[in-house]
Amino acid sequence: MTISIHRNTEPVDIVAEFESFEPEAYYATEWEKEQNILTIGYGDTQSGKLTITEEEAREDLKERLEDLDDMLVDVIDVSLRKNERTAIISLVDNIGIGAFKRSRALQALNNGDFEEFHNQAFSEENGWVNQNGKPLKGLVRRRETEGNLFNLA
């Protein structure tokens, strides 16, 4: 899977590419099954819906990412270009706002150290690519795409 990225890539396009559409609710992981957290649409774990059309799922995703963008306004202290913000929205949609707020990546970003932010957020060594202590190929690809988008001039 390779998504074509450019400075005007929208968050909904990146997340939809990596989350894939699922019309019926399912348990994405064993942990989510144990916690009774269902996923539907494009990675939605909050709506409680059991079925959804692709059009509805895309609209729900767009609203979810707009809400997330609003939350990031209170967390990020530096000015960002559109592509940087889009990469961060995709990242935080995947890892959660709480993990992002507590992260070294956010500290580096707010200190204006964009290189260290990129290293902490997107690299295979330090970024959010592991599940149960092991890198997942899908997360490695997603972080690579987000990192490439973040670095677009």
What one-character-per-residue DSSP string does 83-110 give?
HHHHHHHHHHHHH-HHHHHT-HHHHHHH
Each residue of 99-142: pLDDT tens digit?
999 999 999 999 999 999 999 999 999 999 998 788 999 999 99
Low-confidence ranges of the chain (pLDDT < 50): 1
Residue 72 contacts residue 86 (beta carbons within 8 Å): no
Closest among 110, 73, 100, 86 to 5, alpha carbons compared: 86
Return the pLDDT at 153: 63
Phi/psi for 151 (5° steps) reads -85, -5
One-letter amino acid of 70: D
Q: Report the Cα 86 to chain-centroid distance in Å.
A: 9
What's the CA gap between 79 and 99, in Å, rounded?
21
Distances (CA, A) of 114 to 4, 32, 85, 86, 95: 23, 33, 12, 15, 19
What's the CA gap between 115 and 117, in Å, rounded?
5
Q: Give the pTM.
A: 0.92
Return the pLDDT at 2: 59
